Each structure stands twice: as C-alpha cells, then as structure tokens.
A and B are shown apart, each in its own frame.
Chain A
Amino acid sequence: MYKSVLDIPGEVDAVVIAIPARFVQQVVEDCVAKQVKAVIVESGGFAEIGGEGKVMQEKLIKTIEGSNTRIMGPNCIGILSPMDGIDTIFIPRDRVGRPSLGPISFCTQSGALGSAVLDAFNHAGDGAWFSRFASYGNASDINESDLLEYFGNDKKTEIILAHLEGFKDGRRFMELAKQITPKKPVVVLKTNRTSLGAKASESHSASVAANDEVVSSLLKQHGVIRVNEFQELIRIAKVLRYQPLPMGRRVGIVTDGGGFAVSASDAVEKQGLKLGQLEPSTINTLKAKFPPWYISSNPLDLTGTVTAEEFIFGLEQFCFDPNIDIIVMIIIPSAPQFEVFEFLYHLSNFMVKVKPMHPESAKKTIFATTLGGEESDIIEAKLNKLDIPSYSTPDKGLEIAKYLVEYREFLNRHMVDEEREAC
C-alpha cells in the first residue's frame, strides 16, 4: 500500500481512480508529476451533475494540459482488455459478466449501458465476443473519436461498436469513420435524439437540417451502421462476427409455417428489401422433390408435413440460387414429422461441409427464427454453435439485414469512389 502515486518506485503506466470526486484532483496532480500516461477516473460527481462538478472537471483537464497524461472519464466504469489481463471495471463479475475474448471492441459513453451490454454478450452464448471495452463517461479528455481511431488501428479489433450521446468532435469522427469503415464495420447507437428544434433561419436548407436526421444521414454517408436500440447492438454483432455480409437486397424465406412466410414477406417489404425471384431450375428441383401441396417458390412453404431432411433440402436449393442474397429460416419444430436431432445433424453437415465449399452458397447470409417450446432452445443452442444468428422474430432479423445491406452498398460505392477533398 502506498499513500500516493508519487511513493511508488519506478514507472507507473496507468492509474485507476475510484475515490470520492473531491479527492480526485490531488491524485491527478500526482499522476502528472509522476508522468503517468493513462488515468482512468471512474468516480462520478463531475460535469454530469453540473455546477461545482463541472468546475472540478474543468480543473482536472487544466491539470493535464501540456503533460503526457491522458484522462478517461470521469464518471465511467472502466476498461476491459481480456488478452492483456486488464479489467478495471469496478462492478464485480457476479453482477456484470465479462464476455470471452473475441473480435468486437466497444466504447460507450454511458456506463450503465456499457455494463448491460457486457452482461448481455456474456449471456449471449458460447463463442468469441470482446477484445476491448472502454467506458469513457464524460469524455473530458479521451472522447469517442480517440477511441474510434484506436479501435481502427487495433489489430485485435475486427468489429467496432459504440454508444454515443453526443459528439465532442463530429468532424474528426466522420473523417475517421470514412477511413475505418471500408476495413471494419462500425456500429453506433447514438441516443439523445431530441434536438433543440429547427432553428429560425433564412434558408430552407438550414431549417430542414434538424440535428438527429443530419447525424443519421452523415453516419450512413461514412459507412457507419446506426442502430436504434441497445438490443440491436447485440443482434447485429451476432451476424457481423461470422456471417458473410449480404451481397444485395434479395431475401429468400424458408419455412414450414405459411403464416410466418406471409408476415416475414411483409417485413421484407417494410425494410425496403425484396423477395428474390428463384431461378426456374431451382423451382423445378423443388417441385420434383416435394409433394404438390408444398409451395415451391419464394417464400418456400414446406407446410406441417415437413421432414427435417426436406427442410435442409429447401435451404440448400435457396443457398445455390444466384438470385438470393439473404436467407431467413423460420423453423417451427412442432410439425409432427420434423425430427429435431435429424434436422440439426443435416444442418450441421450442410453448414460445415457444403455451404463454405460452393462459391454461390458461401456468399449467403443466413439467420433463423425458431418458434416453439423446448425444441426451440435445443435448436437455438446448435444454431449458435454453427454461427447462425437467431432472432425472436423474423422482423428483428430483417431489420438487421437492412443495416447490413446498407453497409454493403456503402462498400460498393466506396470501392469506385474518389478521395474527398478537404473543406
């Protein structure tokens, strides 16, 4: 135990401060004197409470001016970097689980949202999730743009997620995004949508440029995927991890429930996606295989007499059809002849041995919805192992599909685009 940072012999790389706000100033001064590079102020009671807190935060920032010390926070929950064994999150593991090491990095302005996301990912099943996590709180010094830049350059980060309540430096954020999004997907949950309203203005242009719509449009322009709620961060991360990005907007629906085929078709249209037109040869293959009461088109309705083998046969044909980009499986395991374990056996065979080998099927994005009781849990567990994301409804999956399609369209635009001039 040391009374002060200054008493510690040798160099100190990072200091985590988690003491009442009024004592923080002295510790930060000591850190500057000690030439500590990174200071994480987890304490609350600064700018977020206004008044005196704001003054204290300004004083902290003055303290590090001209030094090599950088501050994360105040009012944050800390950072996590499992591969380095770093975990400064003050909430114990039994309250907030730490997801296993993986390709995703996440920065968040809100500590509460950050801990909820960590816990939710930890709960989201097996597999690789997080490489870095940073809660940056009041963004007094290190802000969203710094973290975006860091994640952009970080070799361990393949997918970037961020929660923002505002932009400290919007111009820099967009410029960085434009550099990073062609290489790594960036997903942003930007809350705090209400603007002060349209400003009184002399031009139409200024009066329609309400803040949140500008944010949405600019994020898309720079290839950033903007999601609307916290759950969507988790849903989209599931696809981005292992599924290929869709090549286009054409959806195929494979199901044994006609009613769900109809509602999923509605959702396809609502999201601005479209149902792919199957090749005549695909339709012939399906018709040759299936009894006449199956609807051998898109959506493929395999009805209540479906067998597990038939379901997989249908899925395969959709995967081989060049007019389909995204496949939605809606599995209703209650069909009497549908054997769950037979289904899982065939599915696993297909996903591991067939799909990746065939140039057409390898491109398809697949996700699933399983509707039912106990069997659903068994199926979902296996889907998760096969890296097929599952969503509670097809609509939720199709919302995510739309984000992915827009990102693909950005990449297509970017490939042939010129460099942007400075302004």
Chain B
Amino acid sequence: MNTENFSIGIWSMRKGRPANMNSEEFLYDIIKQKRQPLEVECYKFFEEEGFKFLPYYYATTIEEMQEIIDKMMDDRQNKYVFQVMSPRILHKSDFKAVILNVKAEEAMETFVNLKEKFANLGFEGVLIVPMAQDGVELIVGSTYDDTFGYITIFGIGGVFVEVLRDVSFGKSPLTKGDAKFLIDAINSQDLLNGPRGLPKLDRSAMEDFLVQFSKISCKYKNIIKEIDLNPVRITPQGIFPLDARIVFHSERC
C-alpha cells in the first residue's frame, strides 16, 4: 500500500459528514482506499448509529486547531488526550502517538509537535478527547465466528482483556434478555456495582447499549468482521466508549 501521498476523505469536525454519503457508502469509501478505518472515523460511524462519545474534537490543520482551542478555553480546567490519526499507525501507543493530560494552553504546541513528528508517518490529524473520569472499564465487542456467525462480547475491558478473560458471549443480534444474561454472566460482578466509590453500572442502560451494538455487525455484515469498543468507561454521566475499532472482512482490504 502506498501511503506516501495518501489522502483520506475523513469527515472533519469543520466540514462535517459528506451530505451525499450514508454510513454504508462511507465504509465502502474507506474500503476503496484499501485500508481499515481510523479511530476518528469509527467514532463518526458509531455516532451515526446512535452511540454517544465524550465530546471530542478533530484537528487536521493549525487553523482547525486554533478554532478548537477557542472552544477548549471555555473550560480551562479540562485536560485532553491527543491521539495521532494515521493509516500507518495501528497501535498508537507503540509509536508514542498518544499524549495524555494536555491543557488548553498547551494544545497548539502539542499539536504542532505531533504534526511534525508524524509528518512522514501518514499524519492525517489529531483526535482530541477529554480525559475521562475514573471508572471501571468494560469491553463491548463483536466478532465473526465460523460456527455460529456474529457474536457479541461483553466483559471487563482495558488493556488486560486477554489476561483477565472475564467476558461473556452471545449470538448476535441480542435481545434485551440476552443482554441481561451477558451482563450477569461475567464473574466480576463487584466491579459493576461501583467498587471503591467508583460509579455503578446502570444495568438497564447497558442492556440497551448491548442490544443496539449487537445489531451493527448484522446490519453491515458484508463489510464488518470485528468491532472493539474497548474501553467503554462507566462514568456518573453514563457509559462512554473511549476507543473504537472496526475491522473489515479481509477480502475487502
């Protein structure tokens, strides 16, 4: 894949979503470019599907960054996570392409540094997300099983998903009853009940979230193979995915 002169039709914050493109066309547009979607594109996709993220920004140029900083100044106490978006960077932390705890006054310097550093590594823009409040992290995922078709995954998320393996599975799409089963089936129920003063999981909201999530793979079954929302953070304001990844069927890319 030649990524040197790669131009991506990302929905930027300023331009918004191309009016002539629905979600499916948007995914096909990425496929045409022979790549997997960037995280910011996954955010956009999930928003179209009715999921809520913490309010985030996306800056591709210094001008865009300046506009965002003006908004960031409204609440100077907030701190942000800056993440470089590039089709050549799959694991952002390996490339040190994630900067934590950025304040509004440090935003421009951070942006410029990242833009320069990753100029030759397919830099497309920076995704800017507020630092989330402490809370238990979950995983909500979907994968294609050769025997059973699409399955939805729920469990304790974060970077140690594969180590803890405290997850449950259900055939997609889930009913509300199935979603309840998936939540009840994991071992670490105490983590869902608000340990050490952390926010408690709203189980009914989680069920609705899982039901809605489980329909996506079925809806886009010709395109989507796997989805990770990991972590999904339990906050006092609700359940928010902090990271989103979509993997297309390999024959598509």
B175 and A214 form a contact (CB under 8 A): no
B228 and A204 form a contact (CB under 8 A): yes
**What are the 3 A-B residue pairs with the smallest beta carbon separation, nearest first?**
A205-B141, A417-B177, A170-B147
Question: Whole-angstrom distance from the CB of A187 to the nearest CB of chain B?
Answer: 18
Q: In whole angstroms, how far apart are the Cα atoms of A421 and B178 in the complex? A: 12
9 A-B pairs besides A201-B226, A205-B228, A423-B172 with CB distance below 8 A are A203-B143, A203-B245, A206-B247, A208-B162, A209-B143, A213-B167, A221-B181, A413-B177, A423-B221
Our pick among B36, B151, B162, B175 for the contact of A207 (Cβ within 8 Å) is B162
Indicate whether A416 sits within 8 Å of B142 (C-beta atoms), given known contacts A170-B148, A208-B165, A217-B168: no
In the complex, which of the residues A174, A204, A208, A420 has the most CB atoms of chain B within 10 Å of its own CB atom?
Answer: A204
B226 and A420 form a contact (CB under 8 A): no
Question: Whole-angstrom distance from the CB of A301 to the nearest CB of chain B?
Answer: 31
Which chain A residue shows the least CB distance to B164?
A208
Does A94 belong to the interface (CB within 8 Å)? no
Q: In whole angstroms, how far apart are the Cα atoms of A213 and B90 in the complex? A: 28
Indicate whether A209 sits within 8 Å of B153 (C-beta atoms), given known contacts A204-B161, A220-B185, A416-B177: yes
Does B38 belong to the interface (CB within 8 Å)? no
Question: Whole-angstrom distance from the CB of A415 to the nearest CB of chain B?
Answer: 9
Q: In whole angstroms, how far apart are the Cα atoms of A108 and B215 in the complex? A: 34
Q: In whole angstroms, how far apart are the Cα atoms of A222 and B148 in the complex? A: 12
Can you give 10 contacting A-B residue pairs, CB < 8 Å? A167-B148, A202-B90, A202-B247, A203-B141, A204-B157, A208-B141, A213-B167, A413-B178, A418-B175, A418-B176
Question: Whole-angstrom distance from the CB of B49 to the nearest CB of chain A?
Answer: 15
A203 and B168 form a contact (CB under 8 A): no
Interface string of A190-215 (1 = CB under 8 A from B): 00000000100111111111010110
B247 and A221 form a contact (CB under 8 A): no
B155 — which chain A residues lie within 8 A by C-beta?
208
Our pick among A167, A201, A417 for the contact of B176 (Cβ within 8 Å) is A417
Which interface class (under 10, 10 to 19, 20 to 34, 35 or more) fits A? Answer: 20 to 34
In the complex, which of the residues A222, A417, A419, A423 has the most CB atoms of chain B within 10 Å of its own CB atom?
Answer: A423
Indicate whether A221 sits within 8 Å of B171 (C-beta atoms), given known contacts A205-B228, A423-B218: yes
Our pick among B90, B167, B171, B226 for the contact of A222 (Cβ within 8 Å) is B171
Does A414 belong to the interface (CB within 8 Å)? yes
Residues from 158 to 204 in B contacting A, C-beta threshold 8 Å: 161-162, 165, 167-178, 180-182, 184-185
A422 — which chain B residues lie within 8 A by C-beta?
218
Q: In whole angstroms, how far apart are the Cα atoms of A174 and B172 in the complex? A: 11
Our pick among A170, A217, A421 for the contact of B169 (Cβ within 8 Å) is A217
Interface string of A208-241 (1 = CB under 8 A from B): 1101011001101110000000000000000000
B169 and A213 form a contact (CB under 8 A): yes
A205 and B226 form a contact (CB under 8 A): yes
Question: Whole-angstrom distance from the CB of A372 to the nearest CB of chain B?
Answer: 38
Does A95 belong to the interface (CB within 8 Å)? no
B236 — which chain A residues lie within 8 A by C-beta?
none
Q: In whole angstroms, how far apart are the Cα atoms of A209 and B36 in the complex? A: 21
- Secondary structure of the A contact surface, majority rule: helix
A423 — which chain B residues lie within 8 A by C-beta?
149-150, 171-173, 217-218, 221
Q: In whole angstroms, how far apart are the Cα atoms of A392 and B221 in the complex? A: 50
Does B40 belong to the interface (CB within 8 Å)? no
B171 — which chain A residues lie within 8 A by C-beta?
171, 174, 218, 221-222, 423
A-B contacts counted at CB < 8 A amount to 121
In the complex, which of the residues A209, A414, A420 has the most CB atoms of chain B within 10 Å of its own CB atom?
Answer: A209
B230 — which chain A residues lie within 8 A by C-beta?
204-205
Q: In whole angstroms, how far apart are the Cα atoms of A222 and B170 in the complex? A: 9
A205 and B153 form a contact (CB under 8 A): yes
Q: In whole angstroms, how far apart are the Cα atoms of A409 and B173 in the complex? A: 20
B147 — which chain A residues lie within 8 A by C-beta?
167, 170-171, 211, 214
Does B139 belong to the interface (CB within 8 Å)? yes
A419 — which chain B residues lie within 8 A by C-beta?
175
In the complex, which of the residues A167, A217, A220, A418 has the most CB atoms of chain B within 10 Å of its own CB atom?
Answer: A217
Q: In whole angstroms, how far apart are the Cα atoms of A205 and B213 in the complex? A: 13
Q: In whole angstroms, how far apart are the Cα atoms of A213 and B185 in the complex? A: 12
A217 — which chain B residues lie within 8 A by C-beta?
168-170, 182, 185
B148 and A202 form a contact (CB under 8 A): no
B227 and A420 form a contact (CB under 8 A): no
Question: Whole-angstrom distance from the CB of B163 to the nearest CB of chain A?
Answer: 10
In the complex, which of the residues B141, B182, B218, B230 has the most CB atoms of chain A within 10 Å of its own CB atom?
Answer: B141
B176 — which chain A residues lie within 8 A by C-beta?
417-418
B169 — which chain A residues lie within 8 A by C-beta?
209, 213-214, 217-218, 221
A414 and B177 form a contact (CB under 8 A): yes
In the complex, which of the residues A201, A203, A218, A409 has the most CB atoms of chain B within 10 Å of its own CB atom?
Answer: A203
Which chain A residue shows the least CB distance to B150?
A423
Q: In whole angstroms, how far apart are the Cα atoms of A204 and B172 in the complex? A: 17
Q: In whole angstroms, how far apart are the Cα atoms of A67 and B139 in the complex? A: 49
Which chain A residue shows the least CB distance to B245?
A203
Does B48 belong to the interface (CB within 8 Å)? no
B247 — which chain A residues lie within 8 A by C-beta?
202-203, 206
Our pick among A171, A201, A205, A410 for the contact of B148 (Cβ within 8 Å) is A171
Q: In whole angstroms, how far apart are the Cα atoms of A104 and B217 in the complex? A: 38
Q: In whole angstroms, how far apart are the Cα atoms of A221 and B139 in the complex? A: 19
A209 and B139 form a contact (CB under 8 A): no
A221 and B226 form a contact (CB under 8 A): no
Q: In whole angstroms, how far apart are the Cα atoms of A222 and B139 in the complex? A: 22
A421 and B145 form a contact (CB under 8 A): no
